[in-house]
Amino acid sequence: MYRYDEFDERFVRERVAQFADQVARRLDGSLSEDEFKPLRLKNGVYLQLHAYMLRIAVPYGTLNARQLRQLALIGERYDRGYGHFTTRTNLQFNWPKLRDIPAILGLLADVEMHCIQTSGNCIRNVTADHFAGVARDEIEDPRPTAELIRQWSSGHPEFSYLPRKFKIAVTGAQEDRAVTRAHDIGLRLRRHPDTQETCYEVSVGGGLGRTPMIGKVVRDYLPKKDLLAYLEAILRVYNLEGRRDNKYKARVKILVHEIGAEEFARRVEAEFARLDGPSINADPEEVARIAAYFAPPAYETLPAVSNTLEAARAANPAFARWVEVNTTAHKVPGYTAVTISLKPAGQAPGDATSAQMRTVADLAERYSLDELRVTHAQNLVLPHVRLRDLPAIWRTLGEAGLAEANIGLVTDIISCPGLDYCALATARSIPIAQAIQQRFADAQRQREIGPLGIKISGCINACGHHHVGHIGILGLEKRGIESYQITLGGDAGENAAIGEILGPGLAAEEVPAAIERIVAVYLAERLEAESFIDAVRRLGLAPFKAAFQEVPRAAA
């Protein structure tokens, strides 16, 4: 894992001191709210419905035990004993007091964490594949790239006031687990077919929100050494030409859409050619220094099969089921990556109590080489687990209410906080997620349905990624009540697609039955071993639309 050097440390400490001073000036009235708001947003402080909210960056979703324990402590000391993991792999506290935020930022700096650039019109926290470094389908670990971008983009003077926010995701794997095509810039590490050299495929102009777009590839094989200069060229074109007159048309996706991907790429290449590459690109020594932090940890040499694990599986079907659903094949024999579901029935998706955070921190320290990950699907990962340790981990997770075996299934729902917390929301998300979880609680049924991603957003800004949900749910307000629009056929992976609207909005209580009907069409029509999304692609929308129209409506 990356460790701060003296520059990182100083940068973060200086920012804490600066923001503490800004808070003091706000409290003594020297700064008005209009003056203070952009400053607090630069430091992750929002004002939500019931309270302030603090968004803490978890760069590329990587944490160690000490950091997670510190988050648990902050949750207990300054919040209400829980936090919410987000689709940008960040952690949000829902109840901090403004007067306490400088102290909280100090505690974060103690464990090399901060809230810088988790909001505002700047380059946001860079996300990556949550199985980085361990996935079998990976060409190269994306985290050194993500860390390099974090360093380059932190406090970047030219890109601190972009037309709008800017999100970057990196993957090094075949399967896209980082939703790269729904990002302003998506980077995919791949080998050049001729030279076998590792390069980046660069896509630009993806994004969700009110105008969802899938990113367009503007460079097929960017040499790794040119990364920062190329990013600088993209950001410069966007910064100069992106719209500032209309917030809803200010994201780079609109610029790419309006002038076309080819023209956008041409302008980027022209800018790239003008830039003094060597003065912008990272020094190879620095790149190597960063990469060294992500070198594989000291794995043991283990047999590929663990007799302890196999015996436990044979003896306990519930455990066997959890292993089947919540673990992922690891690069190294004898190891596995465990995904801990933060979606137990009845809980808000992505919420974890301080006690649960401590349990997970202890497990990471004891069983996962002191490392864990946050996923964009709002779950946690223990990336380096010996197969033989799975029974002990499962027992401990069970005691903490964290042993739900539902990763990738119908109850593993992505949900934004919605109108239960968020000032921008137009409808609630969490109770919808809970109602669907309840409806599909039966484990056998979930298994029968197989992989199915439901994603819920409480407003058009789409923090809950509903556009790329196999089934997407968007909460809106319609004539003074909450109304939910259902989309079908979205995909967050390498075959990224935006879902299509099935029909008129539904009342909250009608949503579970509608999902039920959609699932019933799939179960009736699917071919042998055909997944939900594959069936939707093959069948098209028509049979689902027909079933959707038969959903009984409370009101006309």
Partner 1 sequence: MAAAAKRVPLPAILLANDLLDGDVVFAAAAGPGGLAWTRDPARALVASDDAAAERLEAFAAAELRGNTVVDAYLVDIALEGGRPVPRHFRERFKTLGPSNRPDLGKQAGEGIAPAPKG
Which residues of this chain interact with partner 1, rule CB under 8 A? 26-27, 29, 32-33, 47-52, 80, 94-99, 348, 419-421, 425-426, 428, 430-431, 434, 477, 480-482
**Token representation of residue 271:** 């800018």
Chain-centroid distance, C-alpha 457:
14
Q: How many CA atoms lie within 13 A of 434 on its CB side?
A: 11
Contact in structure between 327 and 313 (CB atoms under 8 Å): no
* Residue 486 beta carbon to partner 1: minimum distance, rounded to whole angstroms: 20
Closer residue to partner 1 in complex, CB, 101/202: 101
Take residue 476 and report the two structure tokens written for it. Answer: 């809106």
Q: Cβ of residue 46: shortest distance to partner 1, in angstroms?
A: 10
Q: Which is nearer to partner 1, 94 or 117 (CB)?
A: 94
CA distance 243 to 457: 26
Q: Using an 8 Å Cβ cutoff, are 94 and 86 in contact?
A: no
Radius of gyration of the chain (CA): 23
Q: How far is the CB of 49 from partner 1 (least distance, A)?
A: 5
Shortest spacing between CB 392 and partner 1, in angstroms: 32
d(CA 19, CA 40): 8
Assess contact for 469 and 487: CB atoms under 8 A. yes
How many CB atoms neighbour CB 393 within 10 A? 23
To the nearest whole angstrom, how small is the minimum distance from the Cβ of residue 373 to partner 1? 26
Q: Which CB atom, from 375 or from 415, has the smaller least distance to partner 1?
A: 415
291 DSSP β-pair partners: none
Residue 231, both tokens: 């990013």
Six-digit token string for 2: 């990356």
Q: Which is nearer to partner 1, 425 or 460 (CB)?
A: 425
Q: Which is nearer to partner 1, 95 or 299 (CB)?
A: 95
Which residues make beta-bridge pairs with 123? 166
- Rounded Cα distance between 330 and 456, Å, is 30
Least gap, CB of 101 to partner 1 (angstroms): 10
Strands (E), 57-156: 62-63, 82-85, 91-93, 127-128
Nearer to partner 1, 29 or 278 (CB): 29
Q: Nearest approach, Cβ of 44 to partner 1 (angstroms)? A: 14
Q: Report the 10 Å Cβ neighbour count for 250.
A: 19
Strand-pair partners of 491: 497
**Cβ-based nearer residue to partner 1, 3 or 479:** 479
Angstrom distance (rounded) from CA 460 to CA 470:
17
Nearest distance in Å: CB 204, partner 1: 36
346: buried, middle or exposed (CB in 10 Å: 19+, 13-18, 0-12)?
exposed
- Beta carbon nearer to partner 1, 22 or 434: 434
Sequence-distant (≥ 6) Cβ neighbours of residue 366 within 8 angstroms: none
- Within 8 A by CB and 6+ apart from 84, the residues are 91, 92, 93, 94, 348, 350, 351, 417
CA 394 – CA 339 distance, rounded (Å): 11
Minimum CB distance to partner 1 smaller for 26 or for 465 = 26
The residue (of 156 and 478) whose beta carbon lies closer to partner 1 is 478
Query: Which of 522, 534, 468, 533 has the alpha carbon at shortest distance from 500?
Result: 468
Closer to partner 1 at the Cβ: 75 or 163?
Answer: 75
- CB of 327 or CB of 429, closer to partner 1: 429
